[in-house]
Amino acid sequence: MNTIFILLEGEAPKGLFGGMEGMGLMLLLLVVFWFFMIRPQAKRQKELRKYRDSLQKGDRVIAAGGIFGKILEISDYSVVIEVENQGRLKVLKEAIVKDTTNAQPAAR
């Protein structure tokens, strides 16, 4: 009941984060969230899209699920890869996650 009278009288409640301080804190939180979460993810997606557009025949790649292969054919949305003389697989370009053409095996 007191809340209704306060609202009718026109006084704003003065709390810990009431008014402009709350708006400033919320804006600061959104900027920090964008800078540390959204911006780096967008940058990684842009680099991955650029990599997938630059794929060529003969490149050795890793597809999603850890499938190693060599690119035989490329179309707009899919790629045909040869899997270690076991056969051919047709996968979406979005499934290609890494280039292993110049990769060196890890020393144990």
Q: What is the pTM of this model?
A: 0.59
Q: What is the pLDDT along the chain (108 residues), one digit of tens a residue?
A: 555 555 555 555 555 555 667 788 888 888 888 888 888 888 988 988 898 888 899 989 998 888 899 999 999 899 999 998 789 999 999 988 877 666 555 555
CB atoms within 10 A of CB 82: 15
The enclosing H or E element of 42 equals helix 39-53
87: its two tokens: 């056969």
